[in-house]
Chains A and B, each alone.
Chain A
């Protein structure tokens, strides 16, 4: 209910929103700053780690492939140099040599051939029918004739299968001859294909024209041009691994690691989708985002709860302050009314005194002999008596008014509680009469004096009786004030036969600002002040109520002990 009211009040709603916004901003700024710093540091170090790892991987494979090709070339050179043209041109010898090579090198060598200076194959050992094949027009033969050795690009050749040739040039009797070997493409391809990282990482080799030298894992057409445009051919041809990021036609970014092979004739390319390479980072990002969202929601909930709670408290404090102000104003009004009443009462006292004295004077005169014979003597005496009686009544009324209007005196003194109860009953009688409420007292006449502040006790009983009259105002009823002795205490009960107090309200009835009266009718301070006064005087106040039967407030106060210090209160009288 309070929250609903709160949200309906623009001031408190705005206060709650401001507070909420402040808490959210103050909480989010450090979270965002710390989170961003951690994220960027993590990203940089992770990127560095991934790049370093892949760079090393590519570098090792480049080495491995270069070693493989170098080994094969060295083997052929060794054979050409040590076995010589005469032996190798013998096909039987050549087949034995091939068998020996295949045993030692896991069949990496598919065949061997001896080609004369005209490009005519003079001896052949291998599975294909290539005896007397003519290689005069092939690139590899022409290159081999120019250089001491050659490792060809991959081509289909006469056998119509992808393969490449390793060839070395020798000389016999001043004439050149060539020993060539075909390398098993599958074994070579496996060397490259084995480079697999993540889900999308794979490697392939391009020649200088951008043509595949191995079979790539994914079918695609490489860009034409120098090394498939993955390598800046204008740049110096160094041996370092180059790294590039390119966005493909499908919009996916890929990272390319490239390294030159085979005397810079081939380019080893390792390609992996960026998202795949950074998948671990993305997972960490995902967790961080989830934590951030949970943290953010917690902050928002906390900000909402805290601000609502704080505004509740502020509102409660404001309400208390407002009530205190109202109470102050009421107290001020009461004080003014009291002063006015005191002034009026005092001014009335003088004419009343004169009237009474004049009546007294007439009474004195009537006592003289001259008037004793008058037939109206009896009637005159009755009238004078009535003037005296009414004069005294006026005096009592003004004295009560003056007594009530006197400033609150909190000093403790010993007095009769019964006298005070009767005085309060007298003061409340008029109001009770108009509310159709009868006031009855049952007082123990032998009660000893109590030690308390009479004016504060007057306030307590007036409050209790006024509350009871308020409760009975609609239908009328009866209020009974009882005083009795219980051990060392005077017990005073203020009992009414009104509608009673609901049990839920009974526990809070002495709380400050708690009221069930309509707005403007009560401040909710009366009973809490009564409670405070009674407690201060060393007494107890309690309430017992039954619905539709009535309510009883019970006050227990200690009797005044003989010899206890008593401060003169100055002229307080209870009538």
Chain B
């Protein structure tokens, strides 16, 4: 069992159709010891989640061409329920972000966001996700132990 106070680097999937934004944010988050994966659309994000099972947090833009943030969020909650999602948005879609939170997003942030605030939220989301995983793992172990003769 992991010690929750000594947390491994969070793995973050950054999803936004603005490539320069994604690239720069990736560099900045990596510099803060995060493992960062990039996706430029909702569809790419879902593929990345399927390929890499270590993603802790998805930072998800709401307004994107094709599959938008809300649709992507619904898909993530359905297929990867343990992954936490932080919505990233312009102010006009605050209501959408609130809806996102109702759908199970961890939190929302408005662009341009403060790096320290973002880091805090990413860390909090990661902690929540890992605690959740630990509880599930512990429950499974208990089931196995109880099942032994």
Which residue on B lies nearest to A349, using beta carbons? B90
Q: For the complex, what is the distance from the CA of A343 to the CA of B110, rounded to whole Å?
A: 16
Chain B contact residue count (CB 8 A cutoff): 22
Which residue on A lies nearest to B61, using beta carbons? A350
Question: Within 8 Å of chain B (Cβ to Cβ): is A342?
Answer: yes
Which of the 9-residue segments B16-24, B36-44, B76-84 touches chain A?
B16-24
Indicate which residue in A355, A361, A403 contacts B28 across the interface (CB closer than 8 Å): A361
Question: Within 8 Å of chain B (Cβ to Cβ): is A9?
Answer: no
Least CB distance from A14 to B in Å reads 52
Known: A349-B90, A352-B112, A391-B112. A570 touches B24 (CB 8 A): no
Question: Within 8 Å of chain A (Cβ to Cβ): is B132?
Answer: no
Interface pair A346/B98, CB less than 8 Å apart: no
Interface pair B91/A398, CB less than 8 Å apart: yes
Indicate which residue in A364, A402, A570 contacts B91 across the interface (CB closer than 8 Å): A402
Question: Which residues of B are found within 8 Å of A436, using beta-carbon distances?
Answer: none
Interface pair A350/B97, CB less than 8 Å apart: no
Question: Within 8 Å of chain A (Cβ to Cβ): is B95?
Answer: yes
Question: Within 8 Å of chain B (Cβ to Cβ): is A520?
Answer: no
Q: Tell me which of B20, B90, B113 has the highest count of chain A C-beta atoms within 10 A of its own C-beta.
A: B90
Interface pair B94/A571, CB less than 8 Å apart: yes
Question: Within 8 Å of chain A (Cβ to Cβ): is B117?
Answer: no
Question: Which residues of B are found within 8 Å of A395, using beta-carbon distances?
Answer: 111-112
Question: Which residues of B are found within 8 Å of A355, using beta-carbon distances?
Answer: 112
Interface flags, A332-355, vs B, CB<8A=1, else 0:
000000000011011001101111
Question: Which residues of A are found within 8 Å of B92, using beta-carbon distances?
Answer: 342-343, 345-346, 402
Q: Tell me which of A354, A395, A403 has the highest count of chain B C-beta atoms within 10 A of its own C-beta.
A: A354
Which residue on A lies nearest to B18, using beta carbons? A350
Interface pair B90/A350, CB less than 8 Å apart: yes
Question: Within 8 Å of chain A (Cβ to Cβ): is B27?
Answer: yes
Interface pair B25/A357, CB less than 8 Å apart: yes
Interface pair B97/A353, CB less than 8 Å apart: no
Interface pair B27/A403, CB less than 8 Å apart: no
Least CB distance from B71 to A in Å reads 19
Question: Within 8 Å of chain A (Cβ to Cβ): is B115?
Answer: yes
Q: Tell me which of B24, B27, B95, B97 has the highest count of chain A C-beta atoms within 10 A of its own C-beta.
A: B24
Indicate which residue in A353, A398, A399, A570 contacts B21 across the interface (CB closer than 8 Å): A353
Indicate which residue in A353, A361, A403 contacts B112 across the interface (CB closer than 8 Å): A353
Question: Within 8 Å of chain A (Cβ to Cβ): is B148?
Answer: no
Question: Within 8 Å of chain A (Cβ to Cβ): is B146?
Answer: no
Interface residues of A in 365-407 (CB under 8 A from B): 391-392, 395, 398-399, 402-403
Q: For the complex, what is the distance from the CA of A238 to the CA of B111, rounded to whole Å?
A: 127
Question: Within 8 Å of chain B (Cβ to Cβ): is A203?
Answer: no
Interface pair A571/B28, CB less than 8 Å apart: no
Question: Within 8 Å of chain A (Cβ to Cβ): is B31?
Answer: yes
Interface pair B21/A357, CB less than 8 Å apart: yes
Least CB distance from A343 to B in Å reads 8
Interface pair B95/A354, CB less than 8 Å apart: no
Question: Within 8 Å of chain B (Cβ to Cβ): is A139?
Answer: no
Known: A350-B90, A571-B97. A364 touches B28 (CB 8 A): yes
Question: Which residues of B are found within 8 Å of A399, using beta-carbon distances?
Answer: 91, 110
Question: Within 8 Å of chain B (Cβ to Cβ): is A532?
Answer: no
Interface pair B94/A354, CB less than 8 Å apart: no
Question: Within 8 Å of chain B (Cβ to Cβ): is A132?
Answer: no
Interface pair B31/A364, CB less than 8 Å apart: yes
Known: A364-B28, A570-B98. A350 touches B21 (CB 8 A): yes
Question: Which residues of B are found within 8 Å of A571, using beta-carbon distances?
Answer: 94-95, 97-98
Which residue on A lies nearest to B94, using beta carbons? A571
Least CB distance from B138 to A in Å reads 35
Residues of A within 8 A of B (CB): 342-343, 345-346, 349-350, 352-358, 360-361, 364, 391-392, 395, 398-399, 402-403, 570-571
21 CB contacts below 8 A, A to B, read A345-B91, A345-B92, A346-B63, A346-B90, A346-B91, A346-B92, A346-B93, A350-B111, A353-B112, A354-B24, A357-B21, A357-B24, A357-B28, A358-B20, A358-B24, A360-B24, A360-B28, A395-B112, A570-B94, A571-B94, A571-B95
Apart from A355-B112, A358-B24: 8 A-B pairs, beta carbons within 8 A: A349-B90, A350-B18, A357-B24, A361-B27, A364-B28, A403-B91, A571-B94, A571-B95
Residues of B within 8 A of A (CB): 18, 20-21, 24-25, 27-28, 31, 63, 90-95, 97-98, 110-113, 115
